[in-house]
Structures are given as structure tokens and as C-alpha cells.
Amino acid sequence: MKEYKEKLKTTRVILAIAVLILFAFTVLSVLSECGVIHFAPVAGDGHWQSRWRGFICGASVGIGAMILVGLIRISKAMGDEKELKKLYVKENDERQRQIYISARSLAMQIFVIFGLVAGIVVGYFNVTVSITVLACVTIHSLIGLMCKLYYSRKY
Amino acid sequence: MCSMKTRIKELRKQHKLSQEELAEAVGTTRQTITSIEVGKYIASLPLAYKIAHHFGLTIEEVFDFSDLED
């Protein structure tokens, strides 16, 4: 449990930094929308740029709020031994891990199959999109293969 | 994945334990105990040991391995 507590302390610091960075992005987006600073994507007209800034701002707030909830949950658990044990059990439950591994594995297979099909079909209409999709699938598969090799050696 | 019969429910009743209490005692969640009891999930060796040890029995006395003997 002591090791887990140390791990949570590190996680808390990383999450706090992430929240600060996202908060900075949110502030930049708002300032940019107000015209105080120039912070906009190079492509597209003013309307498109405004929409994109809005998306960045919304995404920053959404992800920041999610991380903040996690941060509060960790901080709360660290001050209460019972809550800490509950969190530890929840995070290390073998069935949950099995579900996660199975879900990720299936999702990866589905992504690769659909990606390949989409890449081929889209190729008849738009070469750029097709190459982008196929590149994503290739990189995803290569990362998967590297992870498989790593774990084959580990176990 | 094949399922496995266990005596966990019966032993819990004998010891007047709830799923939540057993889960807490062996360091897992109530949902995992439920899944093991109904045979939807096969416990790992360490968890099987913890459960059996909690009831003062061996793994073979709690988990039914007869299907594996075929």
C-alpha cells in the first residue's frame, strides 16, 4: 500500500500539471476569441478559425474537468485509508483488468479491419484521405506489434 | 473461455458472509466475486488461493476442476 501511495503522489503531480496546461490553453482560447492575442489556425477563414478556437476551448475545459475529478478523487483517497484501499482494489481488480485487456484487444482488431476497408474504399474518392487512413492503420499496427514483441520477451 | 463451478456461494452462506465482505477480505470487488460464483469468470491462482485460504480450505476444495480432468 505504501508503494501505491507513492504512485498516487506522482500521478497527482502529473495530473495537476496537465490541468494547469489545459487551463492555460483555455485562457489562451478565450483571450484569442476576445481579440486580445492572435491565436488561430493558419488554414480557413475567420468563421472557421473562430469555430476551431471554440472547439479547442471546449475540449480543454472538458478534459480539464475530467482530470480535475480524478485529481479530487485521488486527493480524497490519500487522506482516508479506507478510501485508499477501495481505490486500490478498484484499480487492481483482476476481472476489471481482464475486461480492459479483452476490450482493448478487440477494439484494436476492429480498428485495423475497419481502417483497412475504409482506406481502400475512400481511395476511390480521395487519395489524401485514403493515404492518411492507411498510414494511421499501419502505425497503429506497428505499435501493436512492438508491444506484442515487448510482452513476448517479458513473459 | 470455459466456466468453472465453485463452492464459494455455499461457503459464504455457511460463514454468514456477504459478497461485499468476502470481496473486501480477499482484496477484490463484489462484482468479481459474483462473476466467479456464477461461473462467468475464472479466478486467477493468487485470488483462488486467497479465497480458499479465507475459508481455511485448499483450492481443490473450493473450486471444481473435474471439467479439466477430461
d(C-alpha A91, C-alpha A102), whole Å: 16
DSSP-based helix, strand, coil % in chain A, nearest 5: 85, 0, 15
Taking contacts as CB-CB distances below 8 angstroms, the residues of chain A near B27 are 89, 92
Give A131's pLDDT tier (boundaries 50, 70, 90). very high
Cell of A33: 476569441
In chain B, DSSP finds a helix count (H) and a strand count (E) of 5, 0
Can you list the residues of chain B whose pLDDT is less than 70?
1-2, 70
In chain B, residues with a C-beta closer than 8 Å to the C-beta of A92 are 27
pLDDT at A27: 86
The answer to whether B49 contacts chain A (CB < 8 Å) is no
Residues whose CB is less than 8 angstroms from the CB of residue A141 and which lie 6 or more positions away in sequence, other chains included: A112
Domain boundaries, chain A: 1-92, 94-155
Q: Model confidence at A41, in pLDDT bands (50, 70, 90)? A: low
Amino acid A32: pLDDT = 79
B3 belongs to a structural domain: no
Dihedral angle of Cα A154, B2, B6, B12, to the nearest 10 degrees: 70
Q: Which long-range contacts (CB under 8 A, 24 or more apart) does A53-61 make?
A: A53/A29, A54/A29, A56/A25, A56/A29, A57/A25, A57/A26, A57/A29, A57/A30, A57/A33, A60/A22, A60/A23, A60/A25, A60/A26, A60/A29, A61/A22, A61/A26
Which chain A residues contact residue B35 at CB under 8 A?
95
| Helical pair A94-122 and A127-154, crossing angle rounded to 10 deg | 150
Q: Is residue B1 part of a domain?
A: no
User: What pLDDT is stored for residue A153 in this prediction?
Assistant: 93
Residue (of B17, B66, B23) closest to B47 by Cα position? B23
Task: Choose, out of B32, B36, B37, B50, the residue to mutate when testing the contact with A (most A CBs < 10 Å).
Answer: B32
Does any domain span residue B2? no
Average pLDDT value over all residues in chain A: 89
Q: Do A95 and B27 touch (CB under 8 A)?
A: no
State residue A78's pLDDT score. 87
Interface predicted TM-score of the whole assembly (ipTM), two decimals: 0.85
The C-alpha of B21 sits at a distance from chain A's nearest C-alpha, in angstroms, of 13
The set of cell numbers assigned to A90 is: 478498484
Distance CA B36, CA B10 (A): 13
Digit-coded pLDDT (tens) for A69-126: 999 989 988 888 888 888 899 888 999 999 999 999 999 999 999 999 999 999 999 9
> What is the average pLDDT across A37-57?
73
The answer to whether residue B55 is domain-embedded is yes
Site of grid cell 475540449 = A59
- Does B3 touch chain A if contact means CB atoms closer than 8 Å? no
Q: Which pLDDT score, from 0 to 100, does residue A109 have?
A: 94
Q: Please state the domain count of chain B.
A: 1
**How far B62 CA lies from chain A's nearest CA (Å)?**
19
Q: Provide the strand spans (E) within chain A.
A: none
On the question of pLDDT at A42 being above 70, the answer is no
Cross-chain Cβ contact B44/A94 below 8 Å: yes
Judge whether B20 lies within some domain. Answer: yes
A96 and chain B: CB distance < 8 Å anywhere?
yes
What CATH number should be reported for the domain holding residue B51? 1.10.260.40
Domain encompassing residue B37: 8-69
Instruction: List beta partners, residue B6.
Output: B63
Nearest-angstrom CA–CA distance, B41 and A98 = 10
Q: What's the pLDDT at B4? A: 82
